[in-house]
Structure 1
Amino acid sequence: MKKLFIAAILLVGIASFAQDTDQKTAPEQKEKLTPEQRSEKQLKKLTTELSLDANQQAQVKQLLAERSAKAEKFREAREAKKNSDVKPTAAEKEAFKNEIKAEKEANDAKMKAILNADQYAKWHSLQEKNKDKAREKIKEYKKESN
């Protein structure tokens, strides 16, 4: 009877452990959203987090659409360079980093103009949290791939 009880506990423990690992989603397994869907999802989240009014929602929606279009352009340019078998020089890499940095600063200034002081501070803290989460996910992904 004891052996049967121990076997049952082991079986339940193993089954519950196996289910935990299946619930973690890899980046490849997540559903792919269109740029419009991503922008809409982000707008809804910002609206609830920052209590945006209708005017601010319209301005943020336009900013998100612009940012998404520019990001897609950057992504396509990077893919084209990656497929050309010509590695970018250090100067080209530095220029690309500076372009991205300037774009980020411009977006930051636009958000500062749209939001009030409290909303901007909260938005900035959300950006930092998201950046930290992204770093953690990259670290986890690198550990798993090694």
Structure 2
Amino acid sequence: MKKLFIAALLFVGIASFAQETDQKTPRDQRERLTPEQRSEKQLKKLTSELNLDANQQTQVKQLLADRNAKAEKLREARNAKKESGTKPTAAEREAFKKEMLAEKDANDAKMKSILNADQYTKWKKIQEENKDKAKEKMREYRKESN
């Protein structure tokens, strides 16, 4: 009886362990899109949410393409630096933050010139909602990894 009980516990333990290793993190499950695909997806979403006209669509498409191309370059540079094993210094991190902030402000100014006042207000609201969602996902991810 004791051996049977131990065998059953061992079986349940192995079965549950096997299931855990098959599961992927949300980050792994997310599809990898090219910058062009990301731009198209974002443009479709913005067009439906903000009711963009054809002229606005072309301007926003160009803005998104530029922004995603820059982001891809920065991502590649960061990954190359990670692979080399060198961590950025505090000054480099601060410079990167300033660069990102300047880029964000420039994009906001461009969007403000493209969109009308109503659309811009709605766009800013969407940006805030997305920011909140991202923060929540990071909290969940940190809880899972701990």
TM-score (norm: length of structure 2): 0.81
> Residues 94 and 118 of structure 1: is their aligned pair in 2 closer, same or farther, counting only changes over 3 Å?
same
CA distance in 1, matches of 2:94, 2:124: 26
In the alignment, which residue of structure 1 is the partner of 2:142?
142
Displacement over 4 Å in runs of 4+ = none
Equivalent residues, number? 123
In the alignment, which residue of structure 1 is the partner of 2:77?
77
Partner SS state of residue 27, structure 1: helix
Deviations 1:93-131 (A, max 9, x none): 100110011000000000000000000000000000000
CA distance in 1, matches of 2:25, 2:145: 15
Partner SS state of residue 105, structure 2: helix
1:25 to partner: Cα distance: 7.3
Give the partner amino acid of 1:136. E
In the alignment, which residue of structure 2 is the partner of 1:113?
113
Structure 2: unaligned runs, 5 residues or longer: 1-23
Kindly report the root-mean-square deviation, in angstroms, between the aligned alpha carbons of the 2 structures. 1.4
CA distance in 1, matches of 2:33, 2:79: 19
CA distance in 1, matches of 2:46, 2:128: 14
In the alignment, which residue of structure 2 is the partner of 1:60?
60
In the alignment, which residue of structure 1 is the partner of 2:41?
41
Deviations 1:43-87 (A, max 9, x none): 011001000000000000000000001001110111121112222
1:27 to partner: Cα distance: 2.0
Alignment of 1:7-46 (within 5 A): 26-46=26-46
CA distance in 1, matches of 2:127, 2:36: 20
Structure 1: unaligned runs, 5 residues or longer: 1-23
Identity among equivalent positions (%) equals: 76
